[in-house]
């Protein structure tokens, strides 16, 4: 399927400083939009990035019926555009949509809308270390009615943003036992906008105490670690890659899955299981936890340098070239940018 394209009258490309790309603040010239009218997908096409017209009564503003995705396209040294595992984002958005009672965005609209948009804004895909075009599909309810019910009308949008690193230094995180991100029966596994809103206040408290982010614990007992900030969480404990197993309260990260696959491909031992706060704290104390890092599309692999727990800070060893996280980051970035042959079939050339 190909879509009509309305080109911008004035590109912002020449005003953009590609040497300075703060995350998520600069947007490419165009966006993709398709609307659902209760029965059919209509108005699908590419148009200039511009403010939206939305009724003040739109359901999304009042009740947060909105899900999103995050993915990246890289420019290889040869100039090819390489998209990383887009089908996984499509599948996850389908799961998120079901949880929020939203009709499914058809695969051809999701995939071809993204592909066509990247082609139109191809010059916005940066090259160079750690740089990519971040792609943000977002899907939300637009019924103009004040009443809590699944909307009939929806908009699916894709915007893109040339970007560098999400975190520019190693992270100081605090184990959070008062507030939770998600419960076992809630919306934690969905990439629902409201999950992120609920995380802001506890994160702000941690930031006021000098940390960058929190480590979320399970809502029922606050004894098991779940995620860190907007990322999945991994440890190296006694030379084993240990990560909380997926559950209804955790986001099924595509970077998380990729790192596990890479570890298995290397024959590195992996454990997906419950990871207890006490075991992490004991391991930080006795030195058996040698690495901790977050994984996510935006953050990629973000090493954690300090973990705070009940007023005590534990400092982790500085990652070296031999660290698992350094090697995994190098391998994953190599695959994403075409520098290393992709043994998994993850990369889609545009
Ligand atoms: C991502 O990693 O792509 C995310 O969606 C996390 C964040 C930027 C909200």
- DSSP H helices, the chain, are 59-63, 86-99, 107-120, 193-208, 254-266, 277-286, 324-336
Q: Whose CA is nearest to atom 5 of ligand 1?
A: 70
pLDDT recorded at residue 273: 98
Ligand 1, pocket residues at CB < 6 Å: 70, 196, 230, 296-299
Tokens 């997908």 label which residue?
41
For ligand 1, mutation pick of 23, 24, 67, 70 (most atoms within 8 Å of CB):
70
Distinct helix (H) and strand (E) counts, the chain = 7, 17
Closest C-alpha among 329, 218, 332 to residue 275 = 218
Q: What domains appear along the chain, each with residue ranges and CATH number?
A: 13-163 (3.30.470.10), 171-335 (3.20.10.10)
For ligand 1, mutation pick of 139, 298, 301, 336 (most atoms within 8 Å of CB):
298
pLDDT recorded at residue 109: 98
Interval between CA 30 and ligand 1 midpoint (Å): 20
Q: How far apart are CA 183 and CA 245, in angstroms?
A: 15
Report the interhelical angle of 324-336 vs 254-266 (nearest 10°): 110
Interval between CA 68 and ligand 1 midpoint (Å): 9
Nearest ligand 1 atom to the CA of 191 is 5
The list of the chain residues with pLDDT below 70 reads none
pLDDT recorded at residue 259: 98
| CB burial of residue 255 (10 Å; 0-12, 13-18, 19+) | buried
- pTM for the full predicted model: 0.95
Nearest ligand 1 atom to the CA of 255 is 2
pLDDT recorded at residue 235: 98
pLDDT recorded at residue 128: 87
pLDDT recorded at residue 169: 84
Interval between CA 327 and ligand 1 midpoint (Å): 22
pLDDT recorded at residue 165: 79
Nearest ligand 1 atom to the CA of 230 is 6
pLDDT recorded at residue 129: 83
Q: How far apart are CA 42 and CA 35, in angstroms?
A: 5
pLDDT recorded at residue 168: 80
For ligand 1, mutation pick of 297, 301, 332, 336 (most atoms within 8 Å of CB):
297
Q: Whose CA is nearest to atom 3 of ligand 1?
A: 70
Task: Give the distance, in angstroms, between the CA of residue 33 and the centroid of all CA atoms in the same chain.
Answer: 21
Nearest ligand 1 atom to the CA of 297 is 2
Integer CA distances (angstroms), 230 to 6, 85, 92, 118, 128, in order: 34, 19, 16, 25, 25
Interval between CA 297 and ligand 1 midpoint (Å): 6
Q: Whose CA is nearest to atom 6 of ligand 1?
A: 230
Closest C-alpha among 90, 115, 106 to residue 42 = 106
């Amino acid at each position: 399927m190909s879509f009509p394209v309305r080109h911008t009258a004035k590109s912002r490309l020449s005003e953009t400083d590609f040497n300075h790309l703060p995350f998520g603040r600069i947007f490419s010239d165009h966006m993709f939009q398709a609307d659902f009218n209760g029965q059919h997908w209509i108005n699908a096409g590419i148009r200039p990035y511009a403010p939206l017209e939305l009724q003040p009564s739109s359901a999304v503003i009042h009740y947060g019926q909105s899900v999103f995705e995050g993915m990246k396209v890289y420019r290889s040294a040869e100039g090819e555009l390489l998209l990383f595992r887009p089908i996984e984002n499509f599948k996850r958005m389908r799961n998120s949509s079901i949880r929020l009672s939203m009709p499914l965005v058809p695969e051809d609209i999701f995939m071809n809308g993204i592909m066509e948009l990247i082609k139109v804004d191809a010059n916005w895909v940066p090259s160079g270390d750690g740089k990519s075009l971040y792609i943000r599909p977002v899907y939300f309810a637009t019924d103009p009615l004040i009443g809590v019910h699944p909307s009939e009308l929806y908009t699916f949008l894709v915007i893109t943003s040339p970007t560098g690193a999400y975190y520019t230094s190693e992270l100081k995180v605090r184990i959070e036992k008062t507030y939770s991100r998600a419960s076992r029966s809630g919306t934690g596994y969905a990439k629902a906008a409201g999950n992120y809103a609920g995380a802001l206040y506890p994160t702000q408290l941690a930031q006021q105490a000098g940390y960058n982010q929190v480590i979320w614990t399970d809502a029922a007992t606050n004894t098991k670690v779940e995620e860190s900030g907007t990322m999945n969480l991994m440890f190296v404990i006694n030379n084993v890659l240990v990560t909380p197993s997926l559950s209804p309260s955790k986001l099924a990260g595509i970077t998380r899955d990729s790192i596990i696959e890479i570890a298995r491909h290397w024959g590195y031992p992996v454990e997906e299981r419950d990871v207890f706060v006490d075991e992490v704290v004991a391991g930080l104390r006795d030195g058996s936890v040698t690495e901790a890092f977050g994984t996510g599309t935006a953050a990629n692999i973000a090493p954690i340098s300090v973990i705070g727990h009940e007023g005590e800070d534990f400092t982790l060893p500085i990652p070296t070239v031999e660290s698992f996280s350094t090697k995994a980051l190098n391998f994953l970035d190599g695959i994403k940018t075409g520098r290393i042959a992709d043994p998994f079939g993850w990369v889609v050339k545009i």
